[in-house]
Amino acid sequence: MNQIEKILLLWIISLISLTCIAHDAEVDGICYNLNYDTKEASVTNKVNNRGVATYSEKVIIPSSIIYNGEKYHVTSIGDSAFYRCNDIKSVVIPNSVKSIENDAFNFCRNLTSVKISKKVERIGNDAFYCCSKIESIILPKSLKSIGEGAFVGCTFTKITIPKSVTNIEGCPFNSSILTSIVVEKGNNVYDSRNNCNAIIRTETNELIKGCTTTKIPDTVTRIGDYAFADSYELSEVRGFSKNIMIPGVTHTVGAGIFQHCQQGNSIFYMNFAE
């Protein structure tokens, strides 16, 4: 073996080692990154030397852990913590957790049951993207922010947005799967006026997200970007059952509002009321 081959081999071994120890602690089969100052722990990914996620079918995350004699409170599910973990089927998230970060459960295709902490304030971008077996979800009353694509690819048909939510990024749900969208009364930023089955930004009268049963109120003055858009993966599973009627008082229509909304080979068109 020449010198260059030895260097390459050492480099490969170092990469494998980094992959295997890309966390600060492992307790009872769950890996964590630790904040030694605040004594907080964040669940992180657990992979083998081939980069394949290795969490088990049922994951119960504890509210705290003991590591090297120190107690750490588990306060978040970190970025990509369970990314592409095909084995996981259910997860219980304790009330100590306040955030579910970006891509946390992205492409967990066999995940069917999720019990979200009652204290979660943020669900990040693509957090549950393409978790296609999740058929129901209850968002906690503490939730403040929902990220772009957070639940795109899930198959639940009803969603209630808690009154605590003050920030919704981009397109968080599938329009062609949802049949009911309700914003809880008392929300100061969003509403679902007149039982419209949509999310409307109250201050600007902009409809930011609709579904198959949306009835756009006359008070809506703008339909936001990608308001009825879907993901490529679900565009042929279920389409809109009817055309969407846009009231004549609507002033502006955002980009891509019906992007990927197809059923078979038929594109669904928008009609403007006179």
Contact 132, 138 (CB under 8 A): no
Residues in the chain: 274
DSSP H/E element including 10 = helix 3-20
| pLDDT tens-digit series, residues 243-258 | 455 555 445 555 445 4
Contact 133, 112 (CB under 8 A): yes
> What pLDDT score does 252 carry?
57
Maximum mean pLDDT: which of 44-48, 66-70, 265-269:
66-70
- CA 174/CA 161 separation, integer angstroms: 15
- pTM for the complete prediction? 0.81
The one-character DSSP state at 158 is: E
Instruction: Tell me which amino acid residue 133 is.
Output: K
Could you tell me the pLDDT band of residue 62, with boundaries at 50, 70 and 90? very high
| pLDDT tens-digit series, residues 99-157 | 999 999 999 999 999 989 999 999 999 999 999 999 999 999 999 999 999 999 999 99
Which among 240, 186, 247 has a CA at the least distance from the CA of 215? 247
Q: Quote the tokens at residue 218.
A: 């006359």
